[in-house]
Amino acid sequence: MPFTIAIDGPAASGKGTIARALAERFGFHHLDTGLLYRATGVKGGDPIQAARTLAEADFGRKDLRTAAAGQAASRVAAIPEVRQALLDFQRGFALREPGAVLDGRDIGTVICPTADVKLFVIASDLVRARRRAAELGADVDAMLMQLRERDARDAGRADAPMIRADDAVLLDTSEMSIEDAIKAAVGAVEARLAG
């Protein structure tokens, strides 16, 4: 039986960095589910058709990590038919042996509600804006506004909103180094593997 780790949280909270580190540490597969939505959003045309026809090549686009792609992802993620089209892909990925780490907004609540470990990674709005602005070479104030808009859209959508699963470990990375955040996440996984 594969071991599944679900990591949720808002943009620039550190969930992707933690997810990649956990996958590498434990030899698990990793899926940044946001890439599915980013690829759908930047593909253009009818978003439902774009979601249904995503190919592996769509995940290699250079523009998937831009702020515009993030905004597009948030918009198409609010469309129930898009979410349904991508649901099976994500659930199938979670079953890969020996295990999988998936990060996104609704992994622990919708995609993998029975995941072995669930983490909900957060950081203050300003810390996240500074991180994303540094990553993209953008203005902090503009990034703060974009992140808040996106958070409101992601948490307020009717279908699969971004919320913390009841059994998810809350990890606030606002004051943590990358190393400390990863160490805390590894500890949560190791506790579950041992128990």
Find out whether 17 is annotated in a ligand binding site.
yes
Predicted local distance difference test score (pLDDT) of residue 195: 79
Find out whether 15 is annotated in a ligand binding site.
yes
Confidence of residue 71 (pLDDT cuts 50, 70, 90): confident
Find out whether 113 is annotated in a ligand binding site.
no
The better pLDDT of the pair 60, 47 is held by 47
Find out whether 9 is annotated in a ligand binding site.
yes
- Lowest mean pLDDT: which of 23-27, 80-84, 93-97? 80-84
Q: Which residues contact 22 (CB under 8 A, 6 or more apart)?
A: 5, 7, 28, 30, 101, 182, 185, 186, 189
Residue 56 has pLDDT above 80, yes or no: no
Confidence of residue 161 (pLDDT cuts 50, 70, 90): confident
Residue 152 has pLDDT above 80, yes or no: yes
Predicted local distance difference test score (pLDDT) of residue 185: 98
- In this structure, what token pair is assigned to residue 76? 């198409």
Find out whether 118 is annotated in a ligand binding site.
no
User: How much is the average pLDDT of 166-194?
Assistant: 96
Predicted local distance difference test score (pLDDT) of residue 147: 93
Which stretches of the chain are assigned E, i.e. beta strand?
3-8, 29-32, 99-104, 117-122, 169-172
Predicted local distance difference test score (pLDDT) of residue 159: 78
Find out whether 85 is annotated in a ligand binding site.
no
Predicted local distance difference test score (pLDDT) of residue 77: 86
Q: Are 40 and 142 in contact (CB under 8 A)?
A: no
Strand order in the sheet with 117-122: 29-32, 99-104, 3-8, 117-122, 169-172
Find out whether 16 is annotated in a ligand binding site.
yes
User: pLDDT of 89-125, one tens digit each?
Assistant: 899 899 999 999 999 999 999 999 999 999 999 999 9
Predicted local distance difference test score (pLDDT) of residue 70: 85
The better pLDDT of the pair 149, 160 is held by 149
Find out whether 161 is annotated in a ligand binding site.
no
Residue 34 has pLDDT above 90, yes or no: no
User: Which domains are seen in the chain, by residue range?
Assistant: 3-189 (3.40.50.300)
User: pLDDT of 132-146, one tens digit each?
Assistant: 999 889 999 999 999
Q: What is the pTM (predicted TM-score) of this model?
A: 0.88
